[in-house]
Amino acid sequence: MGTLREHVDVKCPRYFLIHHAERYFTVHRRGQTPGTFSLTVDMRKVGLPGKVQARHDVRMRYKILEGADDQRTIDLTWDPDDRLVPRFTGVLSAEILEDGKSRLTLTGKYDAPFGPVGAIFDAILGHRIAVATADAFLQDIKQFIESDYQTAASTSLASSPKE
């Protein structure tokens, strides 16, 4: 079983971060079945030559969890239709940074397909693919959150509470 812990800094106060992350999962995307997301990874980021991008559609499920001190997290799982792509279970969480920024962290576990052979592949290359996929996923969420938050803020739909 592989583990991941990747993060991205986002221009959005922590108080609003999970709200806008949740909207990422609920906003309709043209050409996609609701609940299905395309995960894309640039294979150059894992050290492979050329301009190859791998793309897999996964069924994503999420659940908002309320924690102590209004700390909300998002439990997340994705299941691919492709046996070559691992199933993932994890959590999106937020922490406060300076200057109205926050850090969105994806922590989780995935099962490398094909048992012992998959574990060897994961050790050689698969884990780097998983990290690059998680990073691309977080970058996509970041772009959505920053745009969504700016739209809300510019239309007076968002006000920053004291943290």
Chain segment 13-54, per-residue pLDDT in tens: 888 888 888 888 888 666 677 788 888 888 888 887 777 788
- Answer yes or no: is pLDDT of 120 > 60: yes
In a domain, 8, yes or no: yes
**Residue 47 has what pLDDT?**
80
**160 in a structural domain:** no
For 89, the domain range is 2-154
Q: Identify whether 159 is part of a domain.
A: no
Q: Assign 74 to helix, strand or coil.
A: strand
Task: Read off the CATH number of the domain in which 57 is found.
Answer: 3.30.530
Average pLDDT for 89-93: 95
Q: Is residue 102 part of a domain?
A: yes
Q: How confident is residue 137, by pLDDT bands cut at 50, 70 and 90?
A: very high
Total domains in the chain come to 1
Are the C-beta atoms of residues 41 and 53 closer than 8 Å to each other? yes
Q: What is the pLDDT, as a whole number, of residue 75? A: 95
Specify if 161 maps to a domain. Answer: no
According to the model, what pLDDT value does residue 157 have? 62
**Would you place residue 163 in the very low, low, confident or very high pLDDT band (cuts 50, 70, 90)?**
very low
Asked, for residue 162, whether it belongs to a domain, the answer is no
Give the CB-side neighbour count of residue 111, counting CA atoms within 13 A: 10
Q: Is residue 116 one of the residues assigned to a domain?
A: yes
**What is the spatial distance between Cα 96 and Cα 14, in angstroms, rounded to a whole number?**
6
Q: What is the pLDDT of residue 22?
A: 87
Between 162 and 3, the higher pLDDT residue = 3
Determine the pLDDT at residue 41.
84
Mean pLDDT of 99-105: 90
pLDDT band at 8 (very low <50, low <70, confident <90, very high): very high
Residues 145 and 23: their CA atoms lie apart, in Å, by 8
Q: Tell which residue, 115, 90, 105, 91, has the closest CA to residue 14.
A: 105
